[in-house]
Amino acid sequence: MPPLLIAIDGTAGAGKGTLARALARRYHLAHLDTGCLYRALGLAVLNQNLDPTDEQSVVDLARSLLSTLDLKNPALREEAVGVAASHVAAIPEVRALLFAFQRNFAQHPPEGMQGCVMDGRDIGRVVMPEALCKIYVTASPEVRATRRCKELHEKGIYSIYDDILKDIRERDERDQTRKVSPLIPAEDAFVLDTSQMTIEDVIHKACAYIDAKWVAPEKTRRAEGK
């Protein structure tokens, strides 16, 4: 049985991360949030007072930091880091460096797991085009901005809806129009617009799609009477 690979792509704040974590738990798969790779580099760029659009300095930094990027730093979730990430992500050499890391993860899922869930922007079309399951998650910018403000409010962080909405729109524009690996749904992706859905609905629909495509090893063994 080949490993189960699930690619999740979509716009910023559409719920990719929550869905990816839920699917990884349910199907016992490794999970890689690829946005963290770009965010970790964006954070390092900001910490060193570099300009995220200065290609040469960002690429030099990426080369020197690649094996030591801290993917667990809570500062990765900050708005400014997301914006810096979307700038560094438009640099072709940065994408090439991070591509190798992501391919390796897909081919050798850690801890002997039977596959992986990866979420990002170019997973179904570029990083894991061979993935059996491809899901594209989106929601209207207004819904995403409202969810983000609520999330920040719950963390006690003050935010202005109009500023968050503006950031989301600009980030979508950069992600969708960049020359290399723009955010476009894979032709064979299952598209989920989560604007009017609860997270439970989203997980339910995604699982129905995956279950219809993937025959789990246990089901095969049972069917074969082993």
Under the criterion CB under 6 A, does residue 134 sit at the interface with ligand C5P? no
CA distance 140 to 11: 9
Count of residues engaged in binding ligand C5P, rule: CB under 6 A: 15
Closest CB 122 distance from ligand C5P, rounded Å:
5
| Nearest CB to ligand C5P, comparing residues 89 and 133 | 89
- Other C-beta atoms lying within 10 Å of the C-beta of residue 53: 13
Does residue 31 contact residue 116 with C-beta atoms inside 8 Å? yes
| Nearest CB to ligand C5P, comparing residues 34 and 210 | 34
Closest CB 171 distance from ligand C5P, rounded Å:
5
Percent helix / strand / coil, the chain, rounded to 5: 60, 10, 30
User: How many CA within 13 A on the CB side of residue 125?
Assistant: 14
Residue from 122, 137, 141, 148 in contact with ligand C5P (CB under 6 A): 122
Under the criterion CB under 6 A, does residue 190 sit at the interface with ligand C5P? no
Under the criterion CB under 6 A, does residue 39 sit at the interface with ligand C5P? yes
Closest CB 138 distance from ligand C5P, rounded Å:
12
| Nearest CB to ligand C5P, comparing residues 122 and 141 | 122
Residues in 62-91 that interact with ligand C5P by CB under 6 A: 82, 85-86, 89
- Other C-beta atoms lying within 10 Å of the C-beta of residue 133: 25
Binding mask of the shown chain, residues 102 to 121, with x at each position contacting ligand C5P by CB under 6 A: ------------------xx
DSSP conformation class of 13: T
Sign of the alpha-carbon torsion through 175, 31, 118, 21: negative
CA distance 224 to 226: 6
Under the criterion CB under 6 A, does residue 124 sit at the interface with ligand C5P? no
Alpha helices in 89-213 (DSSP H): 92-107, 141-154, 161-177, 199-213
Residues in 162-181 that interact with ligand C5P by CB under 6 A: 171, 175
Does residue 140 contact residue 195 with C-beta atoms inside 8 Å? yes
Under the criterion CB under 6 A, does residue 52 sit at the interface with ligand C5P? no
Binding region for ligand C5P (CB under 6 A): 12, 34-35, 38-39, 82, 85-86, 89, 120-123, 171, 175
